[in-house]
A and B are shown apart, each in its own frame.
Chain A
Amino acid sequence: MLSALSLFKAEDGEFSPPSIFEFYPEIVAFADTPFAINRIMMIRLIVMVLLIVIFWLWTAKFNKAVKTGNVVPGRFQLLGELALNFVRKSIAHDQLGEKDGERFLPLLTTIFFMVFGMNITGVIPFANIAGTSVIGIPLVLAGVAYVTFIYAGTKKHGIRFFKNSLFPSGVPKPFYILVTPIELLSTFILRPVTLALRLLMNMIAGHLLLVLCFSATQFFFFQADGLMSLFGVGTLLFGFAFTLFEILVSVLQAYVFTLLTTVYIQLALADEH
């Protein structure tokens, strides 16, 4: 696809392929301060507000149900229950059990809905870029996950957590020369790195694909001559398909990120590694 892209570029200088600068839109406020705001930061703040509004409405429904003693939820309330119960039951309780699941539920719920909300803006018209497609959110959330699973492990096992992680029992002592560096690398370095990069790269690649498809469609329809413009139909269809795919990826990446965080916590809490 990329070689094809450069072909068109060579043929017609007017086609502008997506670039890494997609992810660095111009700063619109507070330039050169840590509070600088560009389009993506704005999208993040809007998503934050929207998440708060919708969950506020759901919470109001829940509180009303408690107050009136109504045990039959309406459609809107049921949707909220489904969303929250997905994280609560299918992720937290399944992996951690009820007790620990409830302990870490606020974090897991936040991670899931934040990642999903930020991901889905990649396919929402006028936003068209995921809030997670710059490294800030993936990095912060991976850092939080990292701190949390180390906290969970040391809270439960104390210093033994590191010993269990780095020197797994049941391994002959000489093998520690080999095993311990691998464990150190995989548990304490690769886990947060993969968490952050998996999310970031999925969103970057998804955005680039969509931009490529739709800008190519634009190019074929309005700038290419004759039969070449028929290619536009194909790229438009691809764009549509990838939009659907991106919706799937948004949910999936939110799920994967939350699930992996949960699994890391679960492994840290487990008695034997």
Chain B
Amino acid sequence: MISRILAAAAPEGAETPNPLLPADYDILWSSVVFVVLLVFFWFKVLPGFKRMLDERAQAIEGRLADAEAAQKAAEARTAEVEADKAQLRAESSSIREDARAEGAAILSELKQQAAKDADRLSETTKASLLAERDSAANALRGEIGALAIELASRIVGEKLDDDKVANRVVDEFIAELEGKKAK
């Protein structure tokens, strides 16, 4: 079809050049252009292009690695903080436990002390009560003696107040007793 187009397109009478047969200058300039461009692309463009792509890949990888490292560091720090927190929590709870135990110990000690004090106090009180009772009993005994004598003297109708009379009664009583003995 192409050749028909070409044949139809050719002016009549003129010698039709065959477009499939190259002229020498055509081949020459085509080759020159090709070689120049090949050398240019091979040694100038593509090495630069490749280096740029490599650099970029490296840079991106480097940045990714940096980001990863940063994330790891952050994670480590978080874990550290968490561990610290847990430790602090444990410590505080143990301190609380200790305080509670100490408080209980102090309380029981105080209780014991108080009980001891109470005991001692009651002992002392008891002793003083006894002493007082004894002295009261002694006093009573003396008074009761006097009262009994007074009562007896009233009953015998004689005054036994003064010692002389008492002594005389006693003497008379003794003498009476002696006399009875003598008979």
Contact = CB atoms under 8 A, between A and B. Distances in A.
Interface residues of A, number: 58
B25 A36 contact: yes
A106 B23 CA distance: 27
B91 to A, nearest CB: 49
A20 B29 contact: no
B42 interface: yes
Given A55-B41, A71-B56, A106-B38, A135 B20 contact: yes
Given A19-B11, A84-B45, A109-B41, A204 B29 contact: no
A44 B30 contact: yes
Interface string B21-52: 11111111111011011101110111011011
Given A20-B9, A63-B52, A110-B34, A37 B29 contact: yes
A35 B31 CA distance: 12
Interface stretch (A136-144, A156-164, A165-173): A136-144
B79 to A, nearest CB: 33
Contacts of A71: 55-56, 59-60
Contacts of B5: 2, 205, 208
A48 B52 contact: no
Contact of B34 (A30, A137, A200): A137
Question: DSSP class of B's interface residues: helix, strand, loop or mixed?
Answer: helix
Interface in A53-100: 55-56, 58-59, 62-63, 65-66, 69, 71, 80-81, 84
Contacts of B45: 55, 58-59, 84, 109
Interface string B10-23: 11001011011111
Nearest to B30: A136
A41 B37 CA distance: 15
Nearest to A135: B22
Nearest to A56: B44
A269 interface: no
Contacts of A58: 45, 49
A45 interface: yes
B8 interface: yes
Interface of A: 2, 5-6, 17-21, 23-24, 30, 33-38, 41, 44-45, 47-48, 51-52, 55-56, 58-59, 62-63, 65-66, 69, 71, 80-81, 84, 105-107, 109-110, 113-114, 134-137, 139-141, 144, 197, 200-201, 204-205, 208
14 contacts: A6-B8, A19-B9, A37-B25, A48-B33, A59-B49, A62-B51, A63-B52, A71-B60, A110-B34, A110-B41, A113-B41, A139-B30, A201-B2, A204-B19
Interface of B: 2, 4-6, 8-11, 14, 16-17, 19-31, 33-34, 36-38, 40-42, 44-46, 48-49, 51-52, 55-56, 59-60
Given A44-B33, A84-B45, 10 more contacts: A17-B9, A36-B23, A52-B40, A62-B51, A65-B55, A66-B51, A71-B59, A136-B28, A137-B33, A141-B34
Q: 8 tightest CB-CB pairs across the interface, nearest first?
A: A136-B26, A136-B30, A106-B42, A62-B52, A36-B25, A140-B30, A59-B48, A137-B30
